[in-house]
Structure 1
């Protein structure tokens, strides 16, 4: 359920909400709203501040029961003015507000105590992302079961709707809501979200926006049009693959086909590893191997809802990687869409094959820069863990835009080099390339493989294998599972980069 965002200039002590969050920038000089609330609460908030429960130098929070009327609970959220990474800490605070709401089973939440544009945007992101929960496929509740709590339904910000703070909060809310949608898609079981059904989700998205067009290619079209790598991965699965294309063409946008931004996503809706089969332990999480493609769809949703004034094209390769009797094999040599021959070393290095053909295709359609997102390598998890996305790229204005967007949004990416030396990992005697090399620099070799197909087009490869699949809650993500990494970053780049 999406949170509904609204604004009010009503006095906070009279708000009829389940939880009121009050931002405390300086515990020694709290905002006037604290004294106003204390007139009803008998000084309870002042006592909490006197007890040093809200810190001047670190994120902190405390919950106080409300009065007979107005907010049922008050959450004091504190930050010192000199805290490092303060905006990111505000997102964490927003997630804590969502956690407090969940504990209280609160459906209505309000935030006051600040007029800062940055603070409202960060808190809104944190609440929206922190409120997310994995969709549970449970049966209908029994008559005597306790009603299920599905999260916050309404978030109210105490500010004028025409203010800059409200505008920033709306933008943050749209991007975070699109990220949560991408998380829902990525978390969906493979039997419930096949490549065809993922394409249907993209089609339904396009139907809501006249300036967003949809089309797709099926297995026969992929074979007929020479998507040799993509088709090889898909041939082991009885579930039909789909190549999904979304084009955002807002009225008034001036970019030519050759100037538009391209987003490319890997959506392997279930990855067994194919003939190079994975160990059974943890294989259930391979339903999330579609996370990159889902992030691209989430970014396109945000781009459309925000009305970003630049043309963007998205291509998502959706398939399963299964060990069928028709599956491709280690040792096979296949021909990519651009004519490159590729020796298969591991069928579990399938994502780069799907992406390579998708990159060639989007170049044929026309673009000025390419960002791809994929849960591609375990090597990136070894290098960066689960906090940062690996941004594997050569220096370019597109890379600069990605790194700036990372800082602005908190959708964090770390630049990893794409040196020509890594091409040596892909050399083989019987084909132009092989799809897997040594363990050393594995994430960078995968990026080098993709760079081969991007050629001279500005290109950034986002490896979200770590940042996109969380083994436990972290930062402002309130749950494990798919994080939607890349959605807010790609949305920001679409709004800011110029070819």
Structure 2
């Protein structure tokens, strides 16, 4: 897809579709008035006929301009309430527009009303690229439905060099997010822990990152017994992945981004029911975020050292599978009583978090499709954020707000800590159903020491079972853009 900057009037730019944005209740003025007047009021007449008021997520297509302007059709897109307008609005506009027109057009021009600044161009183009995502590699007819070849921005306020920079950044963000989406969408028979390690190795090679892959023998040698235990029921061997980005200049700050990498979760001996098992290829969503982030960081080159850590295995039901009542001696020496083998994500993360502490990092952020409880509490579109450091939590939440990924902080209520106390070990891997997302985070807190740490439970927004207005079906790549913003400030 080609992106072009034009200083011509939108009335004169040739394209299949002209995209105009309008706020709710806005009177026709500027570019919209000019287009409507040239079309002899056709746009306004159609709006009134269809009761189109400019709500965000709504659009209206004028099917023919009868040659009165250079574009063949006009798409009027609602921007919602002006008081609530942000660049996230424009990102959504980009997604909406591409979904509306990708099957019917090869080119579109965005008017200056939605491309008046470099930030506007970035938001819209990012939305267009994210909205263009398809995962069809396993279909016999896998020809893309997207016919769009050219996106034109009409603006005389943006320099060409700045425009190019914004488009390049949008492509990087979209490519990194779409890598995470692809990984989540891969069938588990293909995306095994070993294959995930190969992808990580390629990301490192492409970006000039350091890459270490621990195989079964190395994991066992190092005493990563949580990862060993969870993987014990599977024929597929576990992998521990460590990518490192080292900035060109010396830096005092080091951050670890940790991802849960369960490439398939049957629940283990505490077997999931079929309906709950069906989408469990997505249980490596945290690891997909880590790889998407490291892909981007290698290009953006922030002045901070970044360790990307992934603990990856399958959770299966073989004869050697770990069992309820087992006690695991974790990597940092703490003992874990197994209550539920389907609470495996926190067990493998215990090793990864303890390993991160050994790297003497200044901050740790982990991402995991960890609990159904978080989905019950916050729904399918919002991630839960918890941790031991409010400043870090605020950084994460500010970053997520900036890029339009919804997060909400859950309270680490001390009264709930009794839920994970064990009578036979230091802690147990599951408590009651009440406050399950919080007690899972409290379990993880045992493995971060005094390091500032934030936990992001992405169980809800990492995967969509049906397409929504702003999200594709399947993997969403949720978290990639938030963590890139947090690490780079961009």
Match for residue 243 of structure 1 among 217, 240, 243: 240
Moved more, 390-399 or 118-127: 118-127
What is the distance in 2 between the residues matched to 1:332 and 1:43? 74
Match for residue 218 of structure 1 among 215, 219, 231: 215
Indicate yes or no: 2:274 matched with 1:276. no
Aligned to 1:267: 261
**DSSP 3-state at the match of 1:129:** helix
Contact conserved, 2:363 with 2:451, CA < 8 A, in 1? yes
Match for residue 437 of structure 1 among 398, 408, 431: 431
**DSSP 3-state at the match of 1:208:** helix
Distance 1:217 1:152, change over 3 A: farther
The Cα shift of 1:154 comes to: 4.3
Distance 1:484 1:138, change over 3 A: same
**DSSP 3-state at the match of 1:363:** helix
Distance 1:30 1:198, change over 3 A: farther
Contact conserved, 1:126 with 1:476, CA < 8 A, in 2? no
Aligned to 1:156: 152
What is the distance in 1 between the residues matched to 2:231 and 2:2? 40
Match for residue 467 of structure 1 among 445, 450, 461: 461
Aligned to 1:189: 187
Indicate yes or no: 2:485 matched with 1:495. no
Aligned to 1:144: none
Deviation per residue, 1:333-352 (Å, 9 max, x gap): 11111111111111111100
Deviation per residue, 1:230-279 (Å, 9 max, x gap): 11111221112211111112313x423xx211100001111001111100
Indicate yes or no: 2:320 matched with 1:326. yes
Deviation per residue, 1:70-121 (Å, 9 max, x gap): 44433122325535365444333222201212342x3443322330444433
Distance 1:79 1:422, change over 3 A: same
Contact conserved, 1:5 with 1:170, CA < 8 A, in 2? no
**Alignment gaps of 5+ in structure 1:** 142-146
Aligned to 1:316: 310
Deviation per residue, 1:277-298 (Å, 9 max, x gap): 1001242200011111101111
Aligned to 2:79: 79
What is the distance in 2 between the residues matched to 1:355 and 1:110? 47
Indicate yes or no: 2:25 matched with 1:31. no
The Cα shift of 1:366 comes to: 2.6
Deviation per residue, 1:471-494 (Å, 9 max, x gap): 3333411x3222111111111100
Distance 1:440 1:411, change over 3 A: same
Aligned to 1:301: 295
Cα RMSD (Å) of the superposition?
2.7
What is the distance in 2 between the residues matched to 1:251 and 1:17? 44
The Cα shift of 1:327 comes to: 1.2
Contact conserved, 1:33 with 1:113, CA < 8 A, in 2? no
What is the distance in 1 between the residues matched to 2:163 and 2:470? 21
Indicate yes or no: 2:241 matched with 1:233. no
Moved more, 463-472 or 131-140: 131-140
Contact conserved, 2:132 with 2:146, CA < 8 A, in 1? no
Alignment of 1:355-394 (within 5 A): 355-394=349-388
Distance 1:494 1:44, change over 3 A: same
Match for residue 393 of structure 2 among 391, 394, 399: 399
Alignment of 1:10-29 (within 5 A): 10-25=8-23, 27-29=26-28
Distance 1:452 1:140, change over 3 A: same
Alignment of 1:471-486 (within 5 A): 471-477=465-471, 479-486=472-479
Moved more, 281-290 or 451-460: 281-290
The Cα shift of 1:15 comes to: 4.0
What is the distance in 2 between the residues matched to 1:364 and 1:155? 48
What is the distance in 2 between the residues matched to 1:347 and 1:394? 26
What is the distance in 1 between the residues matched to 2:3 and 2:303? 23
**Alignment gaps of 5+ in structure 2:** none
The Cα shift of 1:422 comes to: 3.0
**DSSP 3-state at the match of 1:281:** helix
Moved more, 451-460 or 112-121: 112-121
Moved more, 55-64 or 360-369: 55-64
Contact conserved, 2:180 with 2:288, CA < 8 A, in 1? yes
Distance 1:260 1:465, change over 3 A: same
What is the distance in 2 between the residues matched to 1:27 and 1:59? 16
State TM-score, norm by structure 2: 0.90
Distance 1:7 1:197, change over 3 A: farther
Contact conserved, 1:333 with 1:431, CA < 8 A, in 2? yes
Aligned to 1:202: 200
**How many corresponding residue pairs?**
483
Distance 1:262 1:140, change over 3 A: same
What is the distance in 1 between the residues matched to 2:388 and 2:166? 32
What is the distance in 1 between the residues matched to 2:18 and 2:171? 18
Deviation per residue, 1:370-397 (Å, 9 max, x gap): 1100000000011000121000123432
